[in-house]
A and B are shown apart, each in its own frame.
Chain A
Amino acid sequence: MNNTSADHGITLRGFGDSSLIVAIALIAAVVAEQAIRWGESGSFGMMGGLLVSLLIVAAWFYTFFKPLKRLIGTPHFAVTSLLFLAGATALGTFVKQHASAVYYQDTFGVFWGRMIEFSGLQDVFHSWWYITLFLLLAGSLIVVSLTRKFTRANLSFHLAHLSPIVILFGVWLDFFYGMRGIMHMEVGEKNNVVHAFHRNTNYLSGELELDFSLRLDQFDSEKFDPDYKVQIWKTRENKDPEIVAAVPVNLNRPQRVHSTDVSFRVVDYFPNYGWDYEAAVPLEEMEPKDPILIARVKSNQVEETIQLRSNYARYNSIVDPYDQSNIEFAWTMNDRHRALIGGGEKITPHFLRLIDSTGQETAIEATVGTRYKLPGTTSEIHLSRFYDNLVYNDEKGEYFDGDKSGQNPAIEVVLRGHEEPVKFYLFSNFSGHQSPEIARARMLTGFDFIYNYYSGQGMLIVGEDRSIYHIRNGSVEKDELRIGYPYLFEGRLDAYFLVTHLFPDAAQVNSIPTNLSDDPVNPLAIVEVSSPGKETLEEYLMPPRGNKDALLKIEGHPYFLALESTREQETKFWKSHVSFLDKQDNVLNDGIIQVNQPVKFRGYRFYQTDFDPRRSNYSGIGVSREPGLGIIYIGFGMMVIGVLMMFYFREQSVNIGTRKMPGS
């Protein structure tokens, strides 16, 4: 048998011998690594462990030196270590890495669990035996390269076969002289502490300090622009609905819903819609059946459109919670309103409004001590106490009057005439406030209770004579109601109330969507749904945002439509604006770190590696120093050029296409 030549007469024996040597080398590496560990943990000491492991390696080397010397320069040995490496790498993906001893014993049984730990299978890629495979491969490649003459004809061979050695050399430099870690940065903060990772893992192993500092000046992150589409969802029994398609908003392009005869098309689309209103008949001819007032209210940065309905006691007034301005809309004045505006110099009256189940309102002046029998019932209410600023005491579990600021005016009401009296509190600023006691009182009497207190200021808008009454600290001024005019709240320049529309009858008014801007922030699609033999329906489709009513059900089929975008939840970029500072806080340099765009400074690279969705001013900056990186990249280049040349640009081709087929 002749194993010394790469080209002639080598049998499978070469692979057999190589496998044996590699396998025994691996066992030696496992035992040697265990010897070190045993030395570290016992009284024998690190040096003792090292000595024993060196002895094991030396013994292997001595015993197998001759066959190793004979084989190492053969492609058989190289290919054998290659295949062992492939197998070992696969093993490292089949066995969970870095798990606890308990996990392995639970999963594989006590014996095999222990064997896994002994053989380093819980951390394959940092075990001695795995690294041994690389050493054997590198050794083989070096010998192979040295035994072949360095000529132009062999250039591609050498480039390809030396490149792994160059790469491994670079890796070795990084392993021993490089570092990787992370810096936890807050905007405005400077820091020079790096939490270092244990070599080539993501496990933290300690801290180190840079001799310069990093300051995070700014941290920006941006999401993608929304991209609204009409989604088709399928409802499923006992399962969440499943999305089956997302149709781009193309006007008037019909889309059939699969397995149905239903099709739909978007007939109009507004990226950012608002409402406009149009009266079906001239205003003068409109009967005041259901008067409605539409207004924009701006208060403390919040601006919204509101609707007030004169005939519905619950919907005819709102309170600005910031200064308790009560704005009420009435088509015609009632006794309460007349009492309110007739107040003159006397203290502004406050009222308890009682609304029966038919929506009929009765108002009584809210003076302490008043008793009132609710019409049509056996119940009686007693206004037992007034609070200027009702505060709840958590410890004592009771209400008390905080001060005379008038911040949270409230009355205490006691309902009698039932088994037990019911005591509840009504807040002028929170007319929608509910409590179990209020609910009980409503259940027993059929009445809704609203408490209005015009403590500081308020507005009463009377639709019939188109006037607005300003109530300010007990004095009342009448003004003409002007459409589109911003009535400022006293002392607050940025807050106003602006009537946009006033109609005597809501039923005679059409609301028409209109585009406020081209920003796709609040879209509305008008969708026409049709199927043969059925009436074509036109529906509004808006992003559901948690509201199920915004979904458009396809009647008779397990499908519904939704106008939805998913893109704006996805991050477009994170940008850390950083400065590098010396010990005296002088700025040495600055830069913007982004994912895939690290910034280099003094041999370190800084990466955008982490962020925290709950802390917008936190940025995790990865830090690394890789002295071998340039060498590794050279190795990469050598490998690609080497393989390319070897395959396609070599004069002396290696037996390609000249071989005879078996059986020919």
Chain B
Amino acid sequence: MIEQFFYSSLLLKATFITYLLAMVSYIMVFFNAKVVWQNAGKYLFTVAFALCTILIIDRWIEAGRPPFKSLYESLIFACWTVSLVNLFVEYKLKVRLLGSITSVAVVVIFLYALSNRDVEIIALPPALQTWLFIPHVVAYFLAYGALFVGALCAGLYILLPQGLKGHRVISDAQRIDLSHYTYSITKFGYLFLTLGLLLGAWWGQTAWSNYWGWDPKENWALITWLLFTAYLHFRNVKTLSEKQLAWMVIIGTGAIIFTYLGMEYLPTAEDSIHIYIQD
């Protein structure tokens, strides 16, 4: 991984280091409850997000195609969407504290991306040469980013059902209903999960004359969608406790991570046409 980092562009190094600094600032809040750490985390994370945006645009120009083809590229894009949702949560919903967890997650994803860094830029094969490529991927990664942040929020709720009452940094805001925010974020993610799934089917029809091929990746996309559909209904029929609902979001997001990265472990993987091929 160090070797991969060594050969990376200056922009990538700057992006990663800024994310790392944001993470450190965010975590400092736990040890030294000064607003300055919280703000430093927020602003550094914003700068890192801006750098990540430039990194993606730079890659787009260098590759001459949307940079969503390889596992590495998609992981960097995942960092971007997770950051986007996190910033929305920070600035709009004003949910503090989530940033500390999200920043750790983004750094982990970034490290995973680095360890899978593409040595060569792969050209876009004919199957991916369509206008559907961009909306399908963007919809899915917005969904993945949101649901991932939603799951982190749900995890935080399970750990701290009362919020961080009395904490000096947090207490200036009113007590946070983390379960409610989990729902808001998940709702946003679900909308794009639906859009991504349907755009995928449309694309399948255009490329392979088949909107649904029962491919493992397609099936798992359906499973994740069904799980979050169930979550939304469970929430409305009020049979499960808030804690159980939080667990459902975590399980659903677990299924998403499996859909994204775990398909090669399935016994049916060899029949799939969607799995990232690694050397």
Please report whether the interface of chain A is mostly helix, strand, loop or mixed according to DSSP: mixed
Mark interface residues in B89-130 (1 if CB within 8 Å of A CB, else 0): 000000000000000000000000000000111110111011
* B129 contacts A596, C-beta separation under 8 Å: yes
0/1 interface trace, chain A 72-106, chain B, CB 8 Å (1 if under): 00011011001101100110111111000000000
Interface residues of B in 210-230 (CB under 8 A from A): 210-214, 216, 219-220, 222-223, 226-227, 229-230
B3 touching A258 by the CB < 8 A rule? yes
The answer to the question of A551 belonging to the interface, with a C-beta cut-off of 8 Å to chain B, is no
Cβ–Cβ < 8 Å partners of B190 in chain A: 643, 647
Residue B166 CB within 8 A of the other chain? no
Known: A97-B271, A624-B209, A636-B201. A75 touches B233 (CB 8 A): yes
Contacts of B120 in A (CB 8 A): 229, 231, 243, 246, 566
Q: Tell me what chain B mostly uses at the interface: helix, strand, loop, or mixed.
A: helix
CB A258 to nearest CB in B, in angstroms, measures 5
Determine whether the beta carbon of B268 is less than 8 Å from that of A97.
yes
| Residue of B whose beta carbon sits closest to that of A78 | B233
Q: How far is the CB of B247 from chain A (nearest CB, A)?
A: 14
Closest to A628 in B: B211
Q: Which residues of A contact B195 (CB under 8 A)?
A: 640
B183 proximity list for chain A (CB < 8 A) = 656
| Per-position binary interface string of chain A over residues 616-627, scored 1 when its CB falls under 8 Å from any chain B CB and 0 otherwise | 000000111010
| A594 close to B (CB within 8 Å) | yes
B229 engages A647 (CB within 8 Å) = no
Would you call B161 and A663 a contact (CB within 8 A)? yes
Binds A, one of B32-40, B49-57, B236-244: B236-244
Q: Is the CB of A598 within 8 A of B191?
A: no
Please tell me if the beta carbons of B226 and A640 are within 8 angstroms of each other in the complex.
no
- Contact B7 A83, beta carbon cutoff 8 Å: no
Binds B, one of A39-47, A268-276, A571-579: A571-579
Of the candidates A82, A180, A572, A639, the one whose C-beta lies within 8 Å of that of B210 is A180
Judge if B15 is at the interface, Cβ distance under 8 Å: no
Contacts of A404 in B (CB 8 A): none
Once A661-B177, A662-B241 are accepted as A-B contacts, the answer to whether A609 and B208 lie under 8 Å apart by CB is yes
User: A79-B233, A93-B220 known; A607 and B209 CB under 8 Å?
Assistant: yes
Cβ of A657 within 8 Å of any chain B Cβ, yes or no, is yes
Write the nearest CB–CB distance from A559 to chain B, whole angstroms: 11
**Category for how many chain B residues contact A:** 35 or more
Instruction: Decide if A596 touches B130 in the complex (CB within 8 Å).
Output: yes
Q: Is the CB of A661 within 8 A of B233?
A: no
Interface of chain B residues 160 through 217 with chain A (CB within 8 A) = 161-162, 177, 179-180, 183, 187-188, 190-191, 194-195, 198, 201-203, 205-214, 216
Chain B: minimal CB distance from A132 (Å): 16
Question: Is B126 a contact partner of A574 (Cβ separation < 8 A)?
Answer: yes
Q: Does A224 contact B (CB under 8 A)?
A: yes
B260 lies within 8 A of chain A by Cβ: no
Query: By the criterion CB–CB under 8 Å, are A82 and B236 in contact?
Result: no
List, in ascending order, chain B residues with CB within 8 A of A644's CB.
191
B residues less than 8 Å from A293 (CB atoms): none
CB distance from B35 to the nearest CB of A (A): 26
Question: In the complex where A96-B268, A622-B208 touch, is A245 in contact with B162 (Cβ < 8 A)?
Answer: no
**Set B161, B162, B198, B233: member contacting A639, Cβ < 8 A:** B198
Residue of A nearest to B199 (CB): A636
The reply to whether A567 and B123 contact each other, CB–CB distance below 8 Å, is yes
Check: A526 CB closer than 8 A to any chain B CB.
no
A89 and B222 contacting across the interface, CB-CB below 8 Å: yes
Residues A86 and B226 in contact in the complex (CB < 8 Å), given A92-B214, A92-B219: yes
B267 close to A598 (CB less than 8 A): no
A243: chain B residues at CB < 8 Å are 119-120
Contacts of B234-255 to chain A: CB distance below 8 A: 234, 236-239, 241-243
Q: Does B266 reach chain A (CB closer than 8 Å)?
A: yes
Interface status of B31 (Cβ within 8 A of chain A) = no
Q: Is the CB of B209 within 8 A of A655?
A: no
How far is B6's CA from A126's CA once the two chains are assembled, in angstroms?
A: 51
Are B219 and A598 closer than 8 Å at their CB atoms?
no
Please list 24 pairs of residues, one from A and one from B, whose beta carbons are closer than 8 Å in the complex, sorted by A's number. Answer: A79-B237, A83-B226, A83-B227, A83-B230, A86-B223, A86-B230, A89-B222, A90-B223, A92-B214, A93-B266, A200-B213, A227-B121, A570-B125, A571-B125, A595-B126, A596-B206, A598-B209, A639-B194, A640-B194, A643-B191, A643-B194, A661-B179, A662-B161, A662-B241
- Apart from A570-B122, A595-B126, A624-B210: 17 A-B pairs, beta carbons within 8 A: A79-B237, A82-B226, A82-B233, A86-B223, A89-B220, A95-B267, A96-B268, A231-B119, A244-B4, A244-B7, A567-B123, A573-B129, A596-B132, A596-B207, A608-B126, A624-B209, A647-B187
